């Protein structure tokens, strides 16, 4: 059941709304002259608005503005920016115990890390909070391309771990390739990942709202339907079992929340599914959907990797058999392998087979390191995609 927050947090909602209205008013005043850091209120209770790229100037202005502010809510609107300065701001927020909020706006990349640092995290229904792996630019063939930065992601992961986020949440936050679509943190995703938040919806302010559970169920239904429709060539699926599971989840949601509530959430979520599928390639979407199904607490739609685990011989094969996440990657790899094998010939076929043998040798070097295996599989699947 949704829980209404005490009066103190209701007052916080009023402050947030008042500040938002002040920002769009021509008479809005600010203690800091920088466009991207605005402060309203006193040292005992202030509202701080961060708007724009996360960079050194913003971090410097934020530190200066918060010297004498003991209690604050930080309103965020930013496309992200530099890891170093974003972590500086996030650490300041965590140490001071400030609240953070995203109100009907977008907070992406490092901005989302700053939002996660809040002692209380507010978001509205239409807030867009997006995450992806940290990256750096490298020169490849004379062109600058974005490449995942292992050291920067390690820093972010360590910081999020100190905030108390789970391993699954940290992996989700730092997993999306910088050259592809970012992962959204919606109320349903936050619930699944165990990220505490407060939803400001209409006139109320509620923690762990019922709608989040409805959204989680609807997302699960959408993912299961999408997997059956788009991913039969990617995974070895039991289509009849998928349909049965989908019907059971839908019936359970209707029984618990009512048909009108579930139908309304389906109307909201359906266009999002279509948009997500259109902006991701087939393999990426199928891997994302399969992962969400597991995160949402449903039984895995897969029964194992591409091979018979009873015949495992190598240490890596045993590890793969014990990881449901690796089942998905192994099945994708197997289906890609047989597709390319059927559709190549001559010298191209010889190079392909040799490349696959080399990759298997590289994979086996990971031995019992699951993270290493996930990275090796991901890189090889990306090579196939190109």
Tens-digit pLDDT string for the chain (386 aa):
333 444 444 445 444 544 444 444 433 434 443 567 888 876 677 899 999 999 999 999 999 989 888 889 999 999 999 999 999 999 999 999 999 999 989 999 999 999 999 999 999 888 999 999 988 877 777 777 778 888 899 999 999 988 888 888 899 999 888 888 899 998 878 877 778 888 887 656 655 555 567 778 888 888 898 898 889 888 988 888 888 888 999 999 888 877 877 887 787 777 777 788 777 788 888 988 888 888 777 766 888 999 999 999 889 999 999 998 899 999 999 988 888 888 888 888 888 888 888 999 999 999 889 889 999 998 888 877 54
Among residues 37, 38, 36, the alpha carbon closest in space to that of 28 is found at: 38
Calculate the CA 362 to chain-centre distance.
29
Which tokens belong to 349?
């076929």
Specify whether the CB–CB gap between 50 and 62 falls below 8 A: yes
Q: Name the CA radius of gyration of the chain, rounded.
A: 23
Residue 81 burial (10 A CB sphere; 0-12, 13-18, 19+): buried
Quick check: helix, strand or coil at residue 55?
coil
Query: Which residues of the chain form beta strands (DSSP E)?
Result: 3-4, 37-41, 46-51, 72-77, 99-102, 106-108, 121-124, 128-131, 135-140, 143-148, 183-184, 198-201, 204-207
Specify whether the CB–CB gap between 98 and 122 falls below 8 A: no
b/e per residue 100-117 (b: at least 16 CB within 10 A): bbbbebbbbbbbbbbbbb
Query: Which bin fits 24, alpha (ψ -120 to 50), beta or left (φ > 0)?
Result: alpha
Q: Beta-carbon neighbour count of residue 70 at 10 Å?
A: 13
Angle between helices 346-364 and 370-385 (to 10 degrees): 160
This prediction has a pTM of 0.51
């Amino acid at each position: 059941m949704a829980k209404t927050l005490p009066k103190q947090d209701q007052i916080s909602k009023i402050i947030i709304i008042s500040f938002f209205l002040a920002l769009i008013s021509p008479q809005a005043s600010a203690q800091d002259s920088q466009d991207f850091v605005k402060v309203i209120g006193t040292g005992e209770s202030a509202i701080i608005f961060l708007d724009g790229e996360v960079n050194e100037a913003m971090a410097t202005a934020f530190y200066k503005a918060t010297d004498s502010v003991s209690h604050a809510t930080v309103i965020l609107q930013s496309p992200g920016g530099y890891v170093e300065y974003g972590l500086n701001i996030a650490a300041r927020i965590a140490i001071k115990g400030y609240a953070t909020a995203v109100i009907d706006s977008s907070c992406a990349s490092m901005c989302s890390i700053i939002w996660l640092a809040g002692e209380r995290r507010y978001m509205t229904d239409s807030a867009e909070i997006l995450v992806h792996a940290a990256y750096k630019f490298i020169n490849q063939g004379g062109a600058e391309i974005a490449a995942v930065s292992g050291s920067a992601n390690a820093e972010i992961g360590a910081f999020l771990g100190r905030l108390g986020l789970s391993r699954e949440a940290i992996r989700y936050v730092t997993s999306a390739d910088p050259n592809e679509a970012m992962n959204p943190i919606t109320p349903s995703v936050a619930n699944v990942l165990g990220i505490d938040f407060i939803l400001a919806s209409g006139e109320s302010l509620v923690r762990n709202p019922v709608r989040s559970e409805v959204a989680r169920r609807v997302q699960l239904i959408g993912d299961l339907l999408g997997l059956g429709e788009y991913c039969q060539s990617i995974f070895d699926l039991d289509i009849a079992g998928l349909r049965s599971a989908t019907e059971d989840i839908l019936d359970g949601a209707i029984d618990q929340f009512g048909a009108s509530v579930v139908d309304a959430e389906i109307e909201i979520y359906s266009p999002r599914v279509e948009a997500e599928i259109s902006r991701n390639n087939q393999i990426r979407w199928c891997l994302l959907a399969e992962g969400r199904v597991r995160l949402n607490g449903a039984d895995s739609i897969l029964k194992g990797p591409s091979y018979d685990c009873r015949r495992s011989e190598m240490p890596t094969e045993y590890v793969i058999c014990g990881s449901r996440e690796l089942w998905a990657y192994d099945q994708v790899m197997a289906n890609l392998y047989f597709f390319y094998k059927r559709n190549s010939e001559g010298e191209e076929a010889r190079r392909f087979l040799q490349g696959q043998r080399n990759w298997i040798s590289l994979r086996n070097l990971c031995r019992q390191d699951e993270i290493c295996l996930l990275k090796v599989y991901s890189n090889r699947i990306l090579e196939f995609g190109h």
